[in-house]
Amino acid sequence: MSRRARGLGRAALLAAAGLSAWGCLQDDGRSFNPLRSLGPPEVEDERELGAQFDAEIRKHVILIDDPVVLGYVNDLGQQLAASLGPQPFPYRFRVVRDSSLNAFAVPGGYVYLHSGTLLAAGSPDELAGVIGHEIGHVKGRHFARMQEHGKMPELLANLAGMAAAVATGEPGILVAAQAANVAMQLRWSREFEAEADQSAVVLAQRSGYDPAAITHFFERVLEEQRRLPAQEIPPYLFSHPEVESRIDAVEIAVAKAEPAPAPAAEAGPDRAAFEAMQARLAVLVDRQRASLAGAAAPGDPARTRARLEEAEALAAAGRVDEALAALDAAAAIDPGDPRIPFRQGELLDASGRHREAILAYQRTLALDATRALVFFRLGEAWAALGDRGQAVYAFEQARDRSGAASPLRQRAEWELAKQAYGVLSATGVSGVDASGAPELGVSRDALPASGGRVGWWGRLSPRFEPLVARISVRWIDPAGTVVRTAPVERLTRPYVGSVLEIDRGVADRGLWRVEALIDDDVIDRRNFRVQDPR
Protein backbone atom coordinates (compact mmCIF):
# COMPACT_ATOMS: atom_id res chain seq x y z
CA MET A 1 0.00 0.00 0.00
CA SER A 2 1.33 3.44 -0.92
CA ARG A 3 2.31 6.03 1.70
CA ARG A 4 -0.48 8.29 0.42
CA ALA A 5 -3.02 5.50 0.80
CA ARG A 6 -1.81 4.82 4.34
CA GLY A 7 -2.12 8.49 5.16
CA LEU A 8 -5.62 8.69 3.81
CA GLY A 9 -6.62 5.57 5.66
CA ARG A 10 -5.14 6.77 8.93
CA ALA A 11 -6.79 10.18 8.58
CA ALA A 12 -10.13 8.62 7.83
CA LEU A 13 -9.81 6.16 10.70
CA LEU A 14 -8.83 8.83 13.20
CA ALA A 15 -11.59 11.16 12.09
CA ALA A 16 -14.26 8.51 11.94
CA ALA A 17 -13.13 6.88 15.18
CA GLY A 18 -14.44 10.02 16.83
CA LEU A 19 -17.95 9.29 15.64
CA SER A 20 -19.25 8.98 19.17
CA ALA A 21 -18.12 12.54 19.91
CA TRP A 22 -18.14 14.31 16.57
CA GLY A 23 -18.37 18.03 17.09
CA CYS A 24 -21.89 18.69 15.90
CA LEU A 25 -23.17 21.07 18.56
CA GLN A 26 -26.84 21.14 19.34
CA ASP A 27 -28.33 24.56 19.68
CA ASP A 28 -28.36 24.36 23.47
CA GLY A 29 -24.57 23.96 23.44
CA ARG A 30 -24.45 20.20 24.01
CA SER A 31 -22.44 17.99 21.66
CA PHE A 32 -24.39 15.61 19.47
CA ASN A 33 -23.59 12.10 20.64
CA PRO A 34 -25.28 9.06 19.08
CA LEU A 35 -24.44 7.11 22.26
CA ARG A 36 -26.18 9.57 24.54
CA SER A 37 -28.92 7.11 25.47
CA LEU A 38 -29.38 3.39 25.76
CA GLY A 39 -32.37 3.45 23.45
CA PRO A 40 -32.32 3.62 19.68
CA PRO A 41 -31.27 6.93 18.10
CA GLU A 42 -34.01 9.29 17.06
CA VAL A 43 -34.46 10.38 13.45
CA GLU A 44 -32.66 13.64 14.25
CA ASP A 45 -29.66 11.65 15.51
CA GLU A 46 -29.57 9.57 12.33
CA ARG A 47 -29.80 12.70 10.22
CA GLU A 48 -26.88 14.29 12.07
CA LEU A 49 -24.76 11.15 11.94
CA GLY A 50 -25.32 10.79 8.20
CA ALA A 51 -24.44 14.43 7.57
CA GLN A 52 -21.26 14.13 9.61
CA PHE A 53 -20.22 10.95 7.85
CA ASP A 54 -20.92 12.52 4.45
CA ALA A 55 -18.80 15.55 5.33
CA GLU A 56 -15.98 13.25 6.46
CA ILE A 57 -15.98 10.94 3.48
CA ARG A 58 -15.98 13.90 1.07
CA LYS A 59 -12.54 14.79 2.43
CA HIS A 60 -11.07 11.45 1.41
CA VAL A 61 -12.68 10.32 -1.82
CA ILE A 62 -13.44 11.80 -5.21
CA LEU A 63 -17.16 12.18 -5.70
CA ILE A 64 -18.36 12.53 -9.27
CA ASP A 65 -20.65 15.55 -9.54
CA ASP A 66 -21.04 15.62 -13.31
CA PRO A 67 -24.65 16.70 -14.02
CA VAL A 68 -25.19 13.98 -16.62
CA VAL A 69 -23.97 11.13 -14.40
CA LEU A 70 -25.08 12.36 -10.99
CA GLY A 71 -28.26 13.81 -12.46
CA TYR A 72 -29.26 10.42 -13.85
CA VAL A 73 -28.47 8.60 -10.60
CA ASN A 74 -30.32 11.22 -8.56
CA ASP A 75 -33.40 11.12 -10.80
CA LEU A 76 -33.51 7.32 -10.57
CA GLY A 77 -33.00 7.36 -6.81
CA GLN A 78 -35.62 10.06 -6.22
CA GLN A 79 -38.08 8.17 -8.42
CA LEU A 80 -37.64 5.05 -6.29
CA ALA A 81 -37.75 6.98 -3.01
CA ALA A 82 -40.94 8.81 -4.05
CA SER A 83 -42.85 5.53 -3.98
CA LEU A 84 -42.18 5.31 -0.22
CA GLY A 85 -44.40 8.29 0.54
CA PRO A 86 -43.35 11.03 3.03
CA GLN A 87 -39.95 10.41 4.63
CA PRO A 88 -38.29 12.10 7.63
CA PHE A 89 -35.34 13.25 5.51
CA PRO A 90 -34.52 13.71 1.83
CA TYR A 91 -32.48 10.99 0.12
CA ARG A 92 -29.12 11.99 -1.32
CA PHE A 93 -27.20 9.95 -3.86
CA ARG A 94 -23.43 10.07 -4.32
CA VAL A 95 -21.15 8.53 -6.96
CA VAL A 96 -17.70 7.54 -5.66
CA ARG A 97 -14.99 7.31 -8.33
CA ASP A 98 -13.86 3.77 -7.63
CA SER A 99 -13.70 0.83 -10.03
CA SER A 100 -14.84 -1.83 -7.56
CA LEU A 101 -18.36 -3.19 -7.40
CA ASN A 102 -19.87 -1.63 -4.32
CA ALA A 103 -22.78 0.35 -2.94
CA PHE A 104 -23.62 1.33 0.61
CA ALA A 105 -25.89 3.57 2.66
CA VAL A 106 -25.57 5.32 5.99
CA PRO A 107 -28.28 6.73 8.28
CA GLY A 108 -30.04 9.90 7.31
CA GLY A 109 -30.72 9.11 3.66
CA TYR A 110 -27.19 9.03 2.18
CA VAL A 111 -26.62 6.41 -0.54
CA TYR A 112 -23.23 5.87 -2.18
CA LEU A 113 -22.53 3.98 -5.40
CA HIS A 114 -19.09 3.23 -6.79
CA SER A 115 -18.50 4.16 -10.41
CA GLY A 116 -17.63 0.50 -11.01
CA THR A 117 -21.16 -0.44 -10.01
CA LEU A 118 -22.71 2.02 -12.45
CA LEU A 119 -20.52 0.80 -15.29
CA ALA A 120 -21.12 -2.88 -14.48
CA ALA A 121 -24.92 -2.58 -14.36
CA GLY A 122 -26.36 -4.15 -17.48
CA SER A 123 -29.59 -2.16 -17.52
CA PRO A 124 -31.53 0.59 -15.72
CA ASP A 125 -33.48 -2.22 -14.01
CA GLU A 126 -30.33 -3.67 -12.44
CA LEU A 127 -29.25 -0.27 -11.17
CA ALA A 128 -32.74 0.40 -9.82
CA GLY A 129 -32.51 -2.84 -7.84
CA VAL A 130 -29.15 -1.90 -6.31
CA ILE A 131 -30.31 1.60 -5.35
CA GLY A 132 -33.63 0.25 -4.07
CA HIS A 133 -31.75 -2.17 -1.81
CA GLU A 134 -29.73 0.66 -0.26
CA ILE A 135 -32.84 2.80 0.19
CA GLY A 136 -34.34 -0.19 1.97
CA HIS A 137 -31.58 -0.13 4.59
CA VAL A 138 -32.20 3.55 5.29
CA LYS A 139 -35.99 3.34 5.20
CA GLY A 140 -35.95 0.30 7.50
CA ARG A 141 -33.85 2.29 10.03
CA HIS A 142 -31.55 -0.69 10.34
CA PHE A 143 -28.91 1.42 12.03
CA ALA A 144 -31.29 2.35 14.86
CA ARG A 145 -32.56 -1.19 15.15
CA MET A 146 -29.00 -2.51 15.41
CA GLN A 147 -28.52 -0.29 18.44
CA GLU A 148 -31.58 -1.85 20.02
CA HIS A 149 -29.70 -5.15 19.86
CA GLY A 150 -26.65 -3.69 21.58
CA LYS A 151 -24.47 -3.41 18.50
CA MET A 152 -24.02 0.35 18.42
CA PRO A 153 -20.28 0.43 19.32
CA GLU A 154 -19.57 -2.15 16.62
CA LEU A 155 -21.52 -0.11 14.11
CA LEU A 156 -19.62 3.06 14.96
CA ALA A 157 -16.36 1.22 14.40
CA ASN A 158 -17.67 -0.13 11.13
CA LEU A 159 -18.55 3.37 9.94
CA ALA A 160 -14.99 4.40 10.75
CA GLY A 161 -13.64 1.49 8.75
CA MET A 162 -15.89 2.37 5.84
CA ALA A 163 -14.30 5.81 5.50
CA ALA A 164 -10.81 4.31 5.62
CA ALA A 165 -11.54 1.51 3.18
CA VAL A 166 -13.19 3.74 0.61
CA ALA A 167 -10.34 6.21 0.90
CA THR A 168 -7.58 3.69 0.29
CA GLY A 169 -9.27 1.34 -2.15
CA GLU A 170 -6.83 -1.34 -0.99
CA PRO A 171 -8.23 -4.89 -0.51
CA GLY A 172 -5.48 -5.53 2.04
CA ILE A 173 -6.61 -2.80 4.39
CA LEU A 174 -10.16 -4.05 4.11
CA VAL A 175 -9.22 -7.44 5.47
CA ALA A 176 -6.98 -5.94 8.13
CA ALA A 177 -9.71 -3.56 9.21
CA GLN A 178 -12.16 -6.44 9.40
CA ALA A 179 -9.80 -8.30 11.72
CA ALA A 180 -9.50 -5.22 13.90
CA ASN A 181 -13.29 -4.95 14.27
CA VAL A 182 -13.34 -2.08 11.81
CA ALA A 183 -15.26 -3.57 8.91
CA MET A 184 -15.48 -1.83 5.59
CA GLN A 185 -19.20 -1.35 5.78
CA LEU A 186 -22.19 -1.80 8.00
CA ARG A 187 -22.48 -5.56 8.12
CA TRP A 188 -26.21 -6.03 8.08
CA SER A 189 -27.78 -8.99 9.75
CA ARG A 190 -29.40 -11.63 7.57
CA GLU A 191 -32.79 -10.26 8.60
CA PHE A 192 -31.94 -6.75 7.46
CA GLU A 193 -30.44 -7.93 4.18
CA ALA A 194 -33.67 -9.79 3.45
CA GLU A 195 -35.72 -6.68 4.30
CA ALA A 196 -33.59 -4.51 2.00
CA ASP A 197 -33.98 -7.05 -0.81
CA GLN A 198 -37.74 -7.02 -0.31
CA SER A 199 -37.70 -3.22 -0.45
CA ALA A 200 -35.72 -3.34 -3.69
CA VAL A 201 -38.35 -5.63 -5.23
CA VAL A 202 -41.24 -3.41 -4.13
CA LEU A 203 -39.65 -0.08 -5.06
CA ALA A 204 -38.50 -1.30 -8.47
CA GLN A 205 -41.90 -2.74 -9.29
CA ARG A 206 -43.79 0.36 -8.15
CA SER A 207 -41.54 2.53 -10.30
CA GLY A 208 -41.87 0.50 -13.47
CA TYR A 209 -38.59 -1.47 -13.33
CA ASP A 210 -38.04 -5.22 -13.52
CA PRO A 211 -37.75 -6.26 -9.85
CA ALA A 212 -35.93 -9.49 -10.73
CA ALA A 213 -33.06 -7.62 -12.41
CA ILE A 214 -31.12 -7.14 -9.16
CA THR A 215 -30.29 -10.86 -9.28
CA HIS A 216 -28.37 -10.22 -12.49
CA PHE A 217 -26.19 -7.74 -10.63
CA PHE A 218 -25.67 -10.26 -7.83
CA GLU A 219 -24.45 -12.71 -10.43
CA ARG A 220 -21.92 -10.15 -11.69
CA VAL A 221 -20.58 -9.81 -8.14
CA LEU A 222 -20.17 -13.56 -7.83
CA GLU A 223 -18.47 -13.70 -11.22
CA GLU A 224 -16.00 -11.04 -10.09
CA GLN A 225 -15.29 -13.10 -6.98
CA ARG A 226 -14.51 -16.14 -9.11
CA ARG A 227 -12.33 -14.07 -11.42
CA LEU A 228 -10.25 -12.35 -8.75
CA PRO A 229 -7.43 -13.93 -6.75
CA ALA A 230 -8.59 -15.62 -3.56
CA GLN A 231 -7.33 -12.80 -1.31
CA GLU A 232 -9.16 -10.07 -3.26
CA ILE A 233 -12.77 -10.11 -2.18
CA PRO A 234 -15.22 -7.81 -4.01
CA PRO A 235 -16.15 -5.03 -1.56
CA TYR A 236 -19.84 -5.68 -2.15
CA LEU A 237 -19.47 -9.03 -0.37
CA PHE A 238 -18.21 -7.34 2.82
CA SER A 239 -21.37 -5.36 3.37
CA HIS A 240 -23.83 -7.58 1.51
CA PRO A 241 -22.94 -11.14 2.52
CA GLU A 242 -24.46 -14.44 1.36
CA VAL A 243 -25.26 -13.18 -2.11
CA GLU A 244 -25.91 -16.66 -3.50
CA SER A 245 -28.70 -17.44 -1.04
CA ARG A 246 -30.25 -14.01 -1.60
CA ILE A 247 -30.64 -14.61 -5.33
CA ASP A 248 -33.09 -17.41 -4.59
CA ALA A 249 -34.92 -15.28 -2.00
CA VAL A 250 -35.36 -12.40 -4.43
CA GLU A 251 -36.71 -14.71 -7.13
CA ILE A 252 -39.27 -16.06 -4.66
CA ALA A 253 -40.24 -12.51 -3.59
CA VAL A 254 -40.72 -11.47 -7.22
CA ALA A 255 -42.93 -14.49 -7.89
CA LYS A 256 -45.11 -13.67 -4.88
CA ALA A 257 -45.30 -9.93 -5.47
CA GLU A 258 -48.65 -8.52 -6.50
CA PRO A 259 -48.71 -6.77 -9.87
CA ALA A 260 -48.03 -3.09 -9.42
CA PRO A 261 -50.14 -0.37 -11.06
CA ALA A 262 -48.85 0.84 -14.42
CA PRO A 263 -46.21 3.55 -13.78
CA ALA A 264 -46.64 7.12 -14.93
CA ALA A 265 -45.49 7.92 -18.45
CA GLU A 266 -42.27 9.50 -17.22
CA ALA A 267 -41.46 6.60 -14.89
CA GLY A 268 -39.74 3.36 -15.73
CA PRO A 269 -36.45 2.63 -17.45
CA ASP A 270 -34.97 5.04 -19.97
CA ARG A 271 -32.38 3.00 -21.84
CA ALA A 272 -31.01 5.90 -23.87
CA ALA A 273 -30.43 8.06 -20.78
CA PHE A 274 -28.85 5.08 -18.98
CA GLU A 275 -26.42 4.45 -21.82
CA ALA A 276 -25.59 8.17 -22.09
CA MET A 277 -24.80 8.18 -18.36
CA GLN A 278 -22.50 5.16 -18.68
CA ALA A 279 -20.73 6.62 -21.73
CA ARG A 280 -20.15 9.91 -19.91
CA LEU A 281 -18.98 8.11 -16.77
CA ALA A 282 -16.50 6.02 -18.76
CA VAL A 283 -14.95 9.23 -20.11
CA LEU A 284 -14.77 10.73 -16.61
CA VAL A 285 -13.07 7.65 -15.19
CA ASP A 286 -10.64 7.47 -18.11
CA ARG A 287 -9.71 11.13 -17.73
CA GLN A 288 -9.76 10.97 -13.91
CA ARG A 289 -12.23 13.81 -13.79
CA ALA A 290 -15.17 14.49 -11.48
CA SER A 291 -17.11 16.48 -14.08
CA LEU A 292 -17.02 17.72 -17.66
CA ALA A 293 -17.80 21.34 -18.43
CA GLY A 294 -20.32 20.64 -21.19
CA ALA A 295 -20.91 24.30 -22.01
CA ALA A 296 -22.50 24.99 -25.35
CA ALA A 297 -20.78 27.07 -27.98
CA PRO A 298 -22.14 30.62 -27.78
CA GLY A 299 -24.51 31.71 -30.51
CA ASP A 300 -24.77 35.13 -32.08
CA PRO A 301 -26.47 37.48 -29.59
CA ALA A 302 -27.15 40.01 -32.32
CA ARG A 303 -29.56 37.61 -34.00
CA THR A 304 -31.81 37.32 -30.98
CA ARG A 305 -31.38 40.72 -29.31
CA ALA A 306 -34.62 42.17 -30.66
CA ARG A 307 -36.69 39.18 -29.53
CA LEU A 308 -35.11 39.18 -26.07
CA GLU A 309 -35.72 42.90 -25.62
CA GLU A 310 -39.32 42.41 -26.73
CA ALA A 311 -39.73 39.60 -24.20
CA GLU A 312 -38.42 41.77 -21.36
CA ALA A 313 -40.75 44.63 -22.26
CA LEU A 314 -43.74 42.26 -22.35
CA ALA A 315 -42.75 40.67 -19.02
CA ALA A 316 -42.42 44.11 -17.41
CA ALA A 317 -45.96 44.88 -18.57
CA GLY A 318 -47.25 41.69 -16.99
CA ARG A 319 -47.92 39.98 -20.34
CA VAL A 320 -46.11 36.77 -19.42
CA ASP A 321 -47.57 34.47 -22.07
CA GLU A 322 -46.62 36.91 -24.82
CA ALA A 323 -43.13 37.24 -23.32
CA LEU A 324 -42.77 33.46 -23.36
CA ALA A 325 -43.85 33.40 -27.00
CA ALA A 326 -41.20 35.99 -27.85
CA LEU A 327 -38.60 33.82 -26.13
CA ASP A 328 -39.81 30.81 -28.11
CA ALA A 329 -39.21 32.82 -31.27
CA ALA A 330 -35.70 33.67 -30.04
CA ALA A 331 -35.01 29.99 -29.33
CA ALA A 332 -36.06 29.11 -32.88
CA ILE A 333 -33.42 31.55 -34.14
CA ASP A 334 -30.67 30.35 -31.79
CA PRO A 335 -31.55 27.03 -30.08
CA GLY A 336 -28.09 26.82 -28.52
CA ASP A 337 -28.37 29.97 -26.39
CA PRO A 338 -28.87 28.89 -22.73
CA ARG A 339 -29.99 32.38 -21.72
CA ILE A 340 -33.32 31.87 -23.47
CA PRO A 341 -34.69 28.80 -21.63
CA PHE A 342 -33.26 30.17 -18.37
CA ARG A 343 -35.30 33.36 -18.73
CA GLN A 344 -38.34 31.28 -19.64
CA GLY A 345 -37.82 29.31 -16.43
CA GLU A 346 -37.70 32.47 -14.34
CA LEU A 347 -40.91 33.83 -15.86
CA LEU A 348 -42.72 30.51 -15.46
CA ASP A 349 -41.52 30.14 -11.87
CA ALA A 350 -42.65 33.66 -10.95
CA SER A 351 -46.08 32.81 -12.41
CA GLY A 352 -46.41 29.73 -10.22
CA ARG A 353 -45.94 27.36 -13.16
CA HIS A 354 -43.19 25.45 -11.41
CA ARG A 355 -43.25 22.21 -13.39
CA GLU A 356 -42.91 24.10 -16.66
CA ALA A 357 -40.12 26.14 -15.08
CA ILE A 358 -38.27 22.96 -14.13
CA LEU A 359 -38.39 21.76 -17.74
CA ALA A 360 -37.03 25.12 -18.89
CA TYR A 361 -34.18 25.01 -16.37
CA GLN A 362 -33.37 21.45 -17.42
CA ARG A 363 -33.18 22.59 -21.05
CA THR A 364 -30.77 25.29 -19.87
CA LEU A 365 -28.55 22.77 -18.14
CA ALA A 366 -28.52 20.56 -21.23
CA LEU A 367 -26.90 23.52 -23.03
CA ASP A 368 -24.64 24.69 -20.22
CA ALA A 369 -24.36 22.84 -16.90
CA THR A 370 -21.68 25.11 -15.45
CA ARG A 371 -23.88 27.84 -13.98
CA ALA A 372 -24.59 27.65 -10.27
CA LEU A 373 -27.50 30.08 -10.54
CA VAL A 374 -29.40 27.75 -12.89
CA PHE A 375 -29.15 24.93 -10.34
CA PHE A 376 -30.23 27.31 -7.59
CA ARG A 377 -33.34 28.36 -9.52
CA LEU A 378 -34.05 24.70 -10.28
CA GLY A 379 -33.85 23.96 -6.55
CA GLU A 380 -36.31 26.76 -5.80
CA ALA A 381 -38.78 25.35 -8.32
CA TRP A 382 -38.53 21.83 -6.89
CA ALA A 383 -38.90 23.24 -3.36
CA ALA A 384 -42.05 25.09 -4.42
CA LEU A 385 -43.50 21.73 -5.51
CA GLY A 386 -42.53 20.17 -2.17
CA ASP A 387 -40.01 17.72 -3.65
CA ARG A 388 -37.28 17.84 -1.02
CA GLY A 389 -35.04 15.22 -2.62
CA GLN A 390 -34.81 16.96 -5.98
CA ALA A 391 -34.50 20.36 -4.31
CA VAL A 392 -31.59 19.16 -2.17
CA TYR A 393 -29.81 17.76 -5.22
CA ALA A 394 -30.13 21.06 -7.11
CA PHE A 395 -29.10 23.21 -4.13
CA GLU A 396 -26.07 20.99 -3.52
CA GLN A 397 -25.04 21.44 -7.14
CA ALA A 398 -25.48 25.21 -6.77
CA ARG A 399 -23.39 25.22 -3.59
CA ASP A 400 -20.58 23.13 -5.03
CA ARG A 401 -20.37 25.23 -8.20
CA SER A 402 -20.19 28.55 -6.32
CA GLY A 403 -17.09 30.22 -4.94
CA ALA A 404 -16.23 29.70 -1.27
CA ALA A 405 -17.20 33.28 -0.38
CA SER A 406 -20.01 33.62 -2.90
CA PRO A 407 -23.35 34.98 -1.62
CA LEU A 408 -25.03 32.37 -3.81
CA ARG A 409 -23.18 29.63 -1.95
CA GLN A 410 -24.44 31.00 1.35
CA ARG A 411 -28.00 31.09 0.01
CA ALA A 412 -27.68 27.53 -1.25
CA GLU A 413 -26.40 26.38 2.16
CA TRP A 414 -29.39 28.03 3.80
CA GLU A 415 -31.85 26.40 1.42
CA LEU A 416 -30.19 23.03 2.02
CA ALA A 417 -30.56 23.43 5.76
CA LYS A 418 -34.25 24.29 5.37
CA GLN A 419 -34.94 21.31 3.10
CA ALA A 420 -32.93 18.79 5.09
CA TYR A 421 -34.00 19.80 8.58
CA GLY A 422 -37.04 22.06 8.39
CA VAL A 423 -37.08 25.23 10.45
CA LEU A 424 -40.52 24.46 11.80
CA SER A 425 -41.44 20.82 12.28
CA ALA A 426 -45.13 21.64 12.87
CA THR A 427 -47.34 24.73 12.70
CA GLY A 428 -50.99 25.63 13.15
CA VAL A 429 -53.62 28.37 13.39
CA SER A 430 -55.79 28.27 16.49
CA GLY A 431 -57.73 30.21 19.03
CA VAL A 432 -56.07 31.29 22.27
CA ASP A 433 -56.08 29.65 25.69
CA ALA A 434 -56.90 31.17 29.06
CA SER A 435 -53.46 32.78 29.28
CA GLY A 436 -53.92 34.46 25.89
CA ALA A 437 -51.36 32.24 24.12
CA PRO A 438 -52.05 30.15 20.99
CA GLU A 439 -53.50 26.69 21.62
CA LEU A 440 -50.46 24.50 20.96
CA GLY A 441 -50.99 21.42 18.84
CA VAL A 442 -54.33 22.70 17.53
CA SER A 443 -54.81 23.69 13.89
CA ARG A 444 -58.03 25.07 12.44
CA ASP A 445 -59.04 26.12 8.94
CA ALA A 446 -61.79 28.42 10.17
CA LEU A 447 -62.39 30.50 13.30
CA PRO A 448 -65.46 32.49 14.40
CA ALA A 449 -65.36 36.25 14.04
CA SER A 450 -66.74 36.52 17.56
CA GLY A 451 -63.50 35.17 19.01
CA GLY A 452 -61.62 38.41 18.55
CA ARG A 453 -58.16 36.78 18.78
CA VAL A 454 -56.34 34.33 16.49
CA GLY A 455 -53.13 32.51 17.30
CA TRP A 456 -50.34 31.04 15.17
CA TRP A 457 -47.86 28.59 16.68
CA GLY A 458 -44.79 26.77 15.39
CA ARG A 459 -42.57 24.00 16.74
CA LEU A 460 -39.01 25.20 16.18
CA SER A 461 -36.37 22.64 15.20
CA PRO A 462 -33.44 22.68 17.68
CA ARG A 463 -30.90 23.40 14.93
CA PHE A 464 -32.56 26.78 14.25
CA GLU A 465 -32.90 27.85 17.88
CA PRO A 466 -30.16 30.51 17.53
CA LEU A 467 -32.21 32.21 14.80
CA VAL A 468 -35.36 32.73 16.88
CA ALA A 469 -34.75 36.48 17.18
CA ARG A 470 -34.89 36.74 13.38
CA ILE A 471 -38.27 35.02 13.05
CA SER A 472 -41.33 37.21 12.57
CA VAL A 473 -44.99 36.63 11.72
CA ARG A 474 -47.14 38.75 9.45
CA TRP A 475 -50.91 38.67 9.20
CA ILE A 476 -52.63 39.47 5.87
CA ASP A 477 -56.35 40.25 5.71
CA PRO A 478 -58.81 39.18 2.97
CA ALA A 479 -58.05 42.37 1.02
CA GLY A 480 -54.34 41.47 0.85
CA THR A 481 -53.27 44.12 3.35
CA VAL A 482 -50.57 43.32 5.91
CA VAL A 483 -52.29 44.31 9.15
CA ARG A 484 -49.56 43.27 11.57
CA THR A 485 -45.91 42.17 11.49
CA ALA A 486 -44.13 41.34 14.73
CA PRO A 487 -41.36 39.11 16.10
CA VAL A 488 -42.50 35.73 17.35
CA GLU A 489 -43.03 35.29 21.06
CA ARG A 490 -41.40 32.56 23.08
CA LEU A 491 -43.87 29.95 24.28
CA THR A 492 -43.15 26.67 26.02
CA ARG A 493 -39.90 25.46 24.42
CA PRO A 494 -39.57 24.53 21.57
CA TYR A 495 -42.69 26.47 20.55
CA VAL A 496 -42.95 30.03 19.29
CA GLY A 497 -46.12 31.93 18.46
CA SER A 498 -47.99 35.08 17.59
CA VAL A 499 -51.46 36.41 18.39
CA LEU A 500 -53.58 38.76 16.31
CA GLU A 501 -56.36 40.93 17.66
CA ILE A 502 -59.04 41.17 14.98
CA ASP A 503 -62.02 43.51 14.81
CA ARG A 504 -65.40 41.88 14.86
CA GLY A 505 -66.72 43.79 11.91
CA VAL A 506 -67.85 42.44 8.57
CA ALA A 507 -64.68 43.70 6.86
CA ASP A 508 -62.51 41.20 8.68
CA ARG A 509 -64.49 38.17 7.61
CA GLY A 510 -63.09 36.08 4.79
CA LEU A 511 -59.87 34.28 3.87
CA TRP A 512 -56.82 35.39 5.84
CA ARG A 513 -53.17 34.40 5.48
CA VAL A 514 -50.46 34.18 8.13
CA GLU A 515 -46.79 33.86 7.20
CA ALA A 516 -43.73 33.14 9.33
CA LEU A 517 -40.43 34.51 8.08
CA ILE A 518 -36.74 34.43 8.87
CA ASP A 519 -35.64 37.86 7.74
CA ASP A 520 -37.47 38.12 4.39
CA ASP A 521 -37.63 34.39 3.70
CA VAL A 522 -41.07 32.81 4.17
CA ILE A 523 -40.71 29.55 6.12
CA ASP A 524 -44.41 28.82 6.72
CA ARG A 525 -47.64 29.97 5.16
CA ARG A 526 -51.18 29.13 6.29
CA ASN A 527 -54.63 30.23 5.17
CA PHE A 528 -57.61 30.37 7.50
CA ARG A 529 -61.11 31.73 7.28
CA VAL A 530 -62.75 34.12 9.72
CA GLN A 531 -66.47 33.47 9.55
CA ASP A 532 -69.76 34.11 11.30
CA PRO A 533 -70.36 31.79 14.26
CA ARG A 534 -72.97 29.13 13.62
pLDDT score for 461 = 87
DSSP calls for 283-329? HHHHHT-S----PPPP--HHHHHHHHHHHHHHHHTT-HHHHHHHHHH
Contact 161, 183 (CB under 8 A): yes
User: What is the spatial distance between Cα 123 and Cα 264, in angstroms, rounded to a whole number?
Assistant: 20
pLDDT score for 4 = 34
pLDDT score for 199 = 86
pLDDT-based confidence at 257, cuts 50/70/90? Answer: low
Q: Which of 280, 277, 173, 283 is nearest to 232 (CA)?
A: 173
pLDDT-based confidence at 476, cuts 50/70/90? Answer: very high
* 7, pLDDT greater than 60: no
Of 21-35, 350-364, 430-444, which gets the smallest average pLDDT? 21-35
First to last CA, the chain: 80
Q: Which of 49, 146, 135 is nearest to 85 (CA)?
A: 135
pLDDT score for 451 = 63
378-385 mean pLDDT: 94
Contact 398, 375 (CB under 8 A): yes
520-534 mean pLDDT: 83
User: Which residue did the predictor score with more confidence, 254 or 91?
Assistant: 91
Residue 493 DSSP symbol = T
Taking CB atoms within 8 Å and a gap of at least 24, the contacts of 336-340 are: 336/296, 336/297, 336/298, 336/299, 336/367, 337/296, 337/298, 337/299, 337/301, 337/304, 337/367, 338/296, 338/364, 338/367, 338/368, 338/371, 338/374, 339/308, 340/304, 340/308
Mention every residue, 6+ apart, whose C-beta is less than 8 A from residue 49. Answer: 19, 22, 34, 41, 106, 107, 108, 143
pLDDT score for 114 = 92
pLDDT score for 468 = 93
pLDDT-based confidence at 17, cuts 50/70/90? Answer: very low
**In the chain, pLDDT over 70 holds for what percent of residues?**
74
Number of residues in the chain: 534
* Alpha-helix residue ranges (DSSP H) falling in 169-293: 171-179, 190-206, 214-227, 235-239, 243-256, 271-287
Q: How high does pLDDT run on average in the chain? A: 80
Residue 61 DSSP symbol = S
* 161, pLDDT greater than 90: no
> What is the per-residue pLDDT across 482-512, written as a single tens digit (0 to 9) for each?
999 999 999 998 999 999 988 655 557 789 9
> What is the per-residue pLDDT across 60-88, written as a single tens digit (0 to 9) for each?
788 999 999 999 999 999 999 999 988 88
252-259 mean pLDDT: 68
136-162 mean pLDDT: 64
User: What is the spatial distance between Cα 419 and Cα 413, in angstroms, rounded to a whole number?
Assistant: 10
* 118, pLDDT greater than 90: yes
Q: Which of 502, 439, 450 is nearest to 475 (CA)?
A: 502
pLDDT-based confidence at 534, cuts 50/70/90? Answer: low
pLDDT-based confidence at 177, cuts 50/70/90? Answer: very low
Partnered with residue 514 across adjacent β-strands are 475, 526
